[in-house]
Structure 1
Amino acid sequence: MESNKSTHILLFFLTFLTLTYSDIFLNPEVPQTLENYKLYFFENWPYSVSLLFILLAHEMGHYLPARYYGVKASLPYFIPLPFGPIGTMGAVIKIKDQIPNKKVLFDIGVGGPAASLFLSLIVWTIGISMSKVMEIPPNFDRSGYLFFGDSAFTYLSTQWILGPIDFATMDIHAHPLAKAGWVGLLITAINLLPFGQLDGGHVIYSMFGESYRKWIHFLFGMFLLLALVHFTWLIWGFLIYYIIKVEHPFIKDVMFGIGKTRFVFGLFMLVSFLIIFVPKPIILGSEFDNPTLLDDLFRLIVKVVGISE
């Protein structure tokens, strides 16, 4: 049965609202007045509109190739989240047919992250160029704030466009477009994790075929080590292992493989994933200067080695 278009429109509208008002809705520290809601609307609509466009492009990157190959797929379901610093859990489409082969799987799988990567890079670059560098006052109390972490790309591009910046004494007042670009890159990176039914799982399975089952669990074990850096990845590890699954279900091969061009583009996307991946996505101000479990483990090893010597 075809999905009801009004459901998709309603979820799209609700996601716009949660993106726009995630900072004020259910927040006891902000007065729930009409004036404040107007203020947040005019301040946040560039974030809401640009991120919705990024999410829509991501899902169309799956939907259009699916339609091209005659694979039935739903329109995007946007997922509103009325609390938290982001305001959404992204969007999804439902693939209603069996994928015929790995070539089709690759094109449907890679289209989404390729589209959102491209748009997120543009939105981030425009947004960070419109952002402002602020000096952190001495003895500033960070405990009441949330901080967005950096990937290699966001750190280097910020230093290039606004820098040099010493983040021990300075911070960025991010433009709403920069925030939208950051979230778009984060969502793209999570989708490119190379496991199960995630986009990265489709891509890596299409590229390496059944032989990847020999090493994908080792790669998953290495991924779990990221929990030593930030607890978020332990939660994702749980979701991947029990719900998304580590291995991809069987899809038959194409007679001549996916081709050199697709394979090279797949490698490009996997390298892009490493560049845009954020080890510590959102940091509580109270934990900003605290060592990670990885830091503690490293110090313990150094101490043990030092004692043994």
Structure 2
Amino acid sequence: MRTETVPTIYVIHENDDWMVPLRSAFKTIGVNFVEWHFGNGDTFDFSSIPPQGVFYNRMSASSHTRSHRYAAEHTHAVLEWLELNQRRVVNNSRALALETAVGSYDNAKHETSKSKITKQAQSIFGGDKPFITKHNRSGKGLGVHLFKDVKDLESYLDSDAITVTDEERPVDGVLLLQEYITAPKPEINRAEFINGELTYIVTIDTSNGFELCPADQCQIRTKPMFVIRKNDQFLEDEQVLATKIKKFLIENGIEIAGVEYIRDSQTNELLVYDVNTNTNYNPSAEKVAGEANMMKIAKFLKSELDLLSVEDVEAD
């Protein structure tokens, strides 16, 4: 992997498409950076001392769907090497562990065999309650299916879909069962955090299903799919939830994340169901709202690099 002799920003990733807006932001503010692309098969000498700099982990839980099967595992090893050598890591190894194992949040039951899956579903949801399956290592809505009851799940497990389609099989062999929450409106919310601070909440129209693609082409419809809300538009219970989320992120080494939650139509509670540490933003929605989170990330990383450089000067 390429390194620099002076403290530099290093971005760890495996998807060039998702790097485009961050590259543009770095260029705009005139910051040099190095990409460590973990889909290229490069090697590291873990007996060596890593370069000085700020290391931003943007590894994706869906990396295996882009033929980068072990990119996440390789990233975890590299992050531990960096942390062992006291390097500044943004979204550290604990953050990556949570990104690649949704079941770690302990909000879902997880099973592997067909008999255990149906047995657990029966014991948790009964015979007639709807529920969702999802992959433990997820991303892109992998393995997300809504079942109206256990018999519906049995039919799916008996079908060819889960046995012949690679993306239907959990890459780590773990399939999660999660309660299905009915919202008052067909929408979910995503709170975006940078440097541990809430930047905005985006409300996402889910009337067309679970696909929550952040790309521009997802908004080719009369009603915008993504609508950004700022501080003065947050509800009181959203502000309370944001405080709890911030505490959770700090405790788990997560500095940049998109946290998804939904309102339960039965209890009116806000329920968090996903934390995405490799967050992307919708440029069209940001343009309407006058926001630019990738620019905020670039400036945050630059400020961390500047702080690191000052510490080096003082040490000298």
* Superposition TM-score tier, normalisation by shorter sequence: under 0.3
Q: Judging by fraction of residues, say which structure has more helix.
A: 1
Q: Judging by fraction of residues, say which structure has more strand.
A: 2
TM-score by length of 2: 0.25
